[in-house]
Structure formats: structure tokens, C-alpha cells
Amino acid sequence: MAYVAVRGGEQAIRQAEKLYRALNHPFGAGLVHAIERCLPYLIDRVMGEGSVYAPDLAALAIAQSGGDLYEAVLLLRAYRSTLPRLSYAEPVTNETMFTVRRISAAFKDIPGGQILGPTLDYSHRILDLDILAGNDPPKDAEPEKAEDPALPAYPRVSDWQRLNGLLAPLPESEPPDPADLPDVTREPITFPAPRAHRLQSLARADTGGVLALGYAGMRGYGLTHPTVNEVRLAYADVRLRHPVTGVIFSAGRVRVSQTEVVGTKADELELGFAATMGWNEVKTISAAMLDMEMDREDVHPAHTDEFVLYHTEAVEASGFCIHYKLPHYVTFNSSLDSIRRVRAHEQASDNGKDVKAPSMEEAPA
Amino acid sequence: MTQLQLEGLDQAHCLDVLSRAQAEEVKQFAEELIPSLGEIEVLYNRTGLTMLPMQEPVKGTMFYLGEVLIAEAWVRISDGEGYAACLGRDVEQALALALIDAANLAGLAQDQIAAFVKLQAAASHQADDDLLRQVEATRVEMETFEWLISK
């Protein structure tokens, strides 16, 4: 057993941080506010993976980490761990979601119609170099207002499919107490994972990880070939119960996104689903496809729930990866010792000597 | 807990509206109410997390979508208690909301509260209505074209 101590580490660490700051422009509250106002998708990604809805803190985490998203998520998760859990909100339902975007790739005539909402999906992918030349981007005119407002809430497409007998009805059961739900932040995940664990883990999963595994399924390693039933972006009321009167009220709205994917199985449709805090369509589409895939028998090893959920946990994955930067001198030296011992043994054999493998102490340095 | 509406304006409506109102306006309004509230005791005023559950459509399972940072306050005045919560870390905003809630439940300053809530509700409604009209302008009608190949 051995270990390596580093001399002068504290001073070197201080200098390293100073050097980072010297090479990069300092930031202040102005940048944090600008990040929050101008980069909503980045904010949402960090909040979703950090599992805390707090746009100003997500912006601060992004600025403070120099834009390293894994570090930003870690900062947010670390801050979250210092906060008490005060309450359990009422469940988010379609009726309480103020929907601003809902599209379906499966049906063109979905109840309520298709609304594109706020999105850059259909924009030209051309860099606006004029901005770098110092020209302000042209001020867009105010978005047009239709004569009649859109509906604030829509049924899920799956509700309509159930009404038409295309999907199995939901089992009837008493809704659980929100305080009694399985919670991956309070208990270890076991496999096969309860559905509540699976969906909570996907909601806070690493976007890139979910996309990579989901994309593998889409390209051909998957057993399912689903279609997007609906993608929805909305504001959800955070509804709390008043401790004095028991009245339920909204403490404000948070951005949420959800995706249903639909496939065929025997003589009926089957669904996959995912949702997350913030607006992140790539994540929910990929996660919904993985949700469906994970339910299949004989699924590809990379699409089992254990594989998916363990390997898309952003903080654990990035933390494990970067720990390899830490000194591994003793463990690596033992590997070198092994190589030297084997080589010495082989050389001795080649020389016709009947020797046993040398012990570590006997091996040449 | 059973729902209990004490005296005053519709409590859920007041809290719904005021939690979305500009924080500074809410604080200013609460400052104006304070002289009429008598002795104030702050039972707690803090930040923390609330769990946000959601029900999914595949099996009807309820799960946690994530946690939301909130500020909350519970106050006691001579005529009753009040509680409120809002998104974020602004404990002063939560305290102001709780004081307004306490005044409302106690039936105090009803005219001022009603006028303030009405003003804020109108602004909130207008913002929602504007957004929904802008959203409606993004509605698309899909049409399927069939290509007929003549032999």
C-alpha cells in the first residue's frame, strides 16, 4: 500500500485559478443577467440536469464555470444539496399547463391543431456575420397577434388515441400522495427501476448522453421505430397547498417540455414518454424513445434501463471521467511492475532457465 | 387538510395573481399595508425546494419532474395568519405576499387589496392574452399531397 503526497499543491492550485482568471475576461452581474435573458435553452438544459428550477442561479453557474456545462450542473446540484425540502407541489397536469408549442409528427389533424410556438426550428442555419462587424441585428417587428387567442391548454394526443380505442386504457387507481413518490435523490435506484425512478432519472439526465443512446436506437440498434406523437412546450403552474386554509394556489410558472412517441405493437399502439424542466426537445424526444425501448425484451445491452440510467447521470459520469486527471501514480506503477515481471519471466524462459515468475521485490526497477 | 376560506377576497386568486406580479410593486404595496396590520410575527421566512410531480400518459405513473427553488413566508398578525410562496430566492417578496395574504384572510384593507389584485390581474391577463394571440399566429395547417403517377 502506498500513496503519493504533492508538495506545494496549495500554492500551485491558487496560481492555476489566478492564471485561468487572468486569461479570461472577468464577469459580473451584467453577464449573468445577459445569459439568463439571451440563452434560454442553455439555462433550461442546466436547470433540467441540475434538477433545480432557478434561472438566475443557472446563469450564474454557467458564468462561474466558464461555460463548462458539466461544472455548471455540478455547481447547481451542490447548491441544491444545501437547501431544505419545504413542500410537495400538486402534480403538473395538462389542464394546468399553459401550452405555447405543440406539434405532432404522427397526425396532422390533432385535436386543437398544431401550433409552432416560439422556436428557431425553422430558421435558416446561417451565421449572421454582420453582428461581428458591429452591426446590430435588425430589430424584428413585434410578433403578430391573431384575432383570437390560442387555447391555453390542450389534451394530450394520447388522450385522443385512448378515446378512439387505439391505446389501452390507463389503469384506474387512487392518485398517490406526492410526498410518497419514489425519489432517486433520496433512495438508491434498483433494477428493474420503478417507472417513477426511470422518468425522474431521465428528467435530470445528461442531454448529450440521452441523445447518444437514443440516437443509437434510432439509427438501427433499437427494436422500436416510433413516431413523435406530440412535442409540447409549456409553462406549468407550481401549485402549492396553503398551510393555514388548505387552498391550492400557484406560486408561479416554470417552463416544462414533454414528448410522447408512439409505435405499433401487435394490434394496438404503444407509447413512450419523457418530460423535463425547461424547454429541451432533443432530450425529451430521445428519452421518450429510450423509454419505449427499455420496455422491450431482448433489448440491446446499451438500451437496458440499468445501462441507460447509470450512464446518463451527468454529475456522476463527468465526475468519474475527470477523476482520471487525479494522480494514479501508485496504481499505474503496479501495472508497470507487472509488465516488468512478465518480461523478466519470458526472458528467463527464452534463455532456457526453468524459473518461476519473479516476485515484485525481485523484478528489475 | 380541508379547504377553508376565511374572510376576504378569493385567496387562491389573490395569491395566483400576486405571485406573478412584479416583486417591487408587491413589496411597495405590502409596506403600505403594514401600519394597519398591528403586531407582526414572522414564523418563518426562508428559501428551499418544492418537489414538482407530474403524471405521465403511458401507465399513469406519477414521478418527480424536478425541484423548484422557492421563497416562502408564514406570518402572524393580531387578527390571524398568512402564508405565501413565490419562485426564486426573494424572501422579501415572499414576506410581502404573506403579509398581504394575512391581511386578506383577516378581512383587513379589503378595498386596497381588491384594487391592487385587480390591477395586477389585468396586467397578467393582458400578458397571457397577448402571448396566446402571438402563439395562435404560429398555427399551421398540414395538407397531404398525393402524387398520382399516370401509366
Q: What is the pLDDT of residues B40-57, one digit of tens each?
A: 999 999 999 999 999 999
The DSSP call for residue A84 is: P
Q: What is the pLDDT of residue A361?
A: 53
Q: How far is residue B137's CA from residue B135's CA, in Å, rounded to a whole number?
A: 5
Distance of CA B112 to the CA centre of its chain: 19
Tally C-beta pairs within 8 A across A and B: 265
Query: Is the confidence at residue A79, as pLDDT, over 70?
Result: yes
- Identity (one letter) of the amino acid at B82? G
* pTM of the shown model: 0.91
Give residue A364's domain range: 327-365
Q: Which of A116, A275, A291 sits opposite B65 (nearest CB)?
A: A275
Confidence band of B143 (pLDDT split at 50, 70, 90): confident
Domain match, A150 and A287 both: yes
Query: What's the 3-state SS for A141-183?
Result: CCCCCCCCCCCCCCCCHHHHHHHCCCCCCCCCCCCCCHHHCCC
Domain membership of residue A159 (yes or no) is yes
∠ Cα A194 A196 A200 (to 5°): 120
Residue range A97-147, pLDDT digits in tens = 999 999 999 988 899 999 999 999 999 999 988 889 988 777 777 899 999
Q: List chain B residues with CB under 8 Å of A108.
A: 142-144
For residues B116-123, give the mean pLDDT: 96
Domain match, A114 and A220 both: yes
For residues B113-123, give the mean pLDDT: 96
Query: Is the confidence at residue B2, as pLDDT, over 80?
Result: no
> Are the CB atoms for A256 and A277 separated by under 8 Å?
yes
Confidence band of B4 (pLDDT split at 50, 70, 90): very low
Query: Is the confidence at residue A3, as pLDDT, over 70?
Result: no
> Are the CB atoms for A41 and A279 separated by under 8 Å?
yes
Distance of CA A136 to the CA centre of its chain: 34
Domain membership of residue A340 (yes or no) is yes
Q: List chain A residues with CB under 8 Å of B125.
A: none
Q: State yes or no: cis peptide before A55, omega within 30 of 0.
A: no
Query: Is the confidence at residue B151, as pLDDT, over 70?
Result: no
Give the count of domains, chain A.
Answer: 3
Distance of CA A344 to the CA centre of its chain: 50
Query: Is the confidence at residue A303, as pLDDT, over 80?
Result: yes
Distance of CA B35 to the CA centre of its chain: 25
Average pLDDT, chain A: 91
Q: Which of B11, B50, B144 sits opposite A88 (nearest CB)?
A: B50
Q: What is the pLDDT of residue A8?
A: 73
Q: How far is residue B95's CA from residue B117's CA, in Å, rounded to a whole number?
A: 17
Domain membership of residue A129 (yes or no) is no
Restricting to B residues 109-148, those with a Cβ less than 8 Å away from any Cβ of A are 128-144
Confidence band of B1 (pLDDT split at 50, 70, 90): very low
Asked if A178's CB is within 8 angstroms of B54's CB, the reply is no
Q: How far is residue A45's CA from residue A283's CA, in Å, rounded to a whole number?
A: 9
Picking from B143, B76, B58, the residue whose alpha carbon sits closest to that of residue A292 is: B58
A232 or A138: whose pLDDT is higher? A232
Picking from B3, B66, B83, the residue whose alpha carbon sits closest to that of residue A89 is: B66
Picking from A98, A97, A109, A107, the residue whose alpha carbon sits closest to that of residue A229 is: A107
Domain match, A163 and A35 both: no
Confidence band of A150 (pLDDT split at 50, 70, 90): very high
Q: Which of B60, B66, B129 sits opposite A204 (nearest CB)?
A: B66
∠ Cα B137 B140 B141 (to 5°): 135
Domain membership of residue A21 (yes or no) is yes
Average pLDDT, chain B: 91
Query: Is the confidence at residue A363, as pLDDT, over 50?
Result: no
Q: What is the predicted ipTM?
A: 0.92
Q: What is the pLDDT of residue A365?
A: 43
Query: Is the confidence at residue A321, as pLDDT, over 60?
Result: yes
Confidence band of A265 (pLDDT split at 50, 70, 90): confident
Domain membership of residue A139 (yes or no) is no
Domain membership of residue A138 (yes or no) is no
DSSP 3-state of A336: helix
Q: Is B1's Cβ below 8 Å from some Cβ in A?
A: yes
Q: Which residue has the cell 496549495?
A: A10
Domain membership of residue A176 (yes or no) is no
Which secondary structure element, helix H or strand E, spans residue B150, and what is its range? Answer: none
Domain match, A307 and A336 both: no
Domain match, A295 and A331 both: no
Domain match, A246 and A293 both: yes
Domain match, A193 and A231 both: yes
Q: What is the pLDDT of residue A220?
A: 87
Query: Is the confidence at residue A47, as pLDDT, over 60?
Result: yes
Residue range B82-112, pLDDT digits in tens = 999 999 999 999 999 999 999 999 999 999 9
> Are the CB atoms for A291 and A273 separated by under 8 Å?
yes
For residues A14-26, give the mean pLDDT: 93
Domain membership of residue A136 (yes or no) is no
Give A184-187 contacts, CB < 8 A, sequence gap 24+. Answer: A185/A51, A185/B64
Q: Is B58's Cβ below 8 Å from some Cβ in A?
A: yes
Q: What is the pLDDT of residue A76?
A: 97
Q: List chain B residues with CB under 8 Å of A293.
A: none
Domain match, A232 and A365 both: no
Q: What is the largest CA-CA distance in chain B?
A: 91
Domain match, A114 and A253 both: yes
* Burial state string for A333-358 with b = 16 or more CB within 10 A and e = fewer than 16: eeeeeeeebeebbeeeeeeeeeeeee
Q: List chain B residues with CB under 8 Å of A244.
A: 4, 74, 80-83, 105
Domain match, A69 and A199 both: no
Domain match, A107 and A218 both: yes
Domain match, A42 and A112 both: no
Share of chain B above pLDDT 70, in %: 91
Query: Is the confidence at residue A255, as pLDDT, over 60?
Result: yes
Q: How far is CA A96 from CA A91, A99, A103, A161, A256, in A?
A: 9, 9, 19, 21, 12
Residue range A152-182, pLDDT digits in tens = 999 999 999 999 999 989 888 888 999 999 9
Picking from A125, A82, A112, the residue whose alpha carbon sits closest to that of residue A234 is: A112
